[in-house]
Amino acid sequence: MRRVGSMILLCGVALAASGCVVDTAPYPPIPAPRVEVVPPAPGPRLAWEPGHWRWNGSAYLWVPGHYVEGRVGVHWIDGHWANRAGAWVWVPGHWS
């Protein structure tokens, strides 16, 4: 039994020392944002939410920017991609 444990340990050390790295990214890198021309705001309490890429499970789709209605005493936080526990997730724009 002791010999089996030693063999397992030896194999683990050899594998770690080999520098073997496996890329397990679940999807390709996020494309660069598209350039958008922001039209004039149709009202005084509106904020522009920029367009962004959305992953649909097999490809990125562009979601165009648009105006969202604001609230008094808060400011708009743009949507953005964030790395959470090693996975990239879309954090939607929101008021804070």
Residue 26: what pLDDT? 64
Question: Domain residues for 66?
Answer: 41-96
Question: Above pLDDT 90, what percent of the chain?
Answer: 15
Phi, psi dihedral angles at 93 (to 5 degrees): -60, 150
7 falls within a domain: no
Structural domains counted in the chain: 1
54 falls within a domain: yes
21 falls within a domain: no
pTM: 0.54
Classify residue 40 as exposed, middle or buried by CB count within 10 Å of its CB (0-12, 13-18, 19+).
exposed
Four-CA torsion 6, 8, 12, 18, nearest 10 degrees: 90
Question: Across residues 33-54, what is the average pLDDT?
Answer: 88
73 falls within a domain: yes
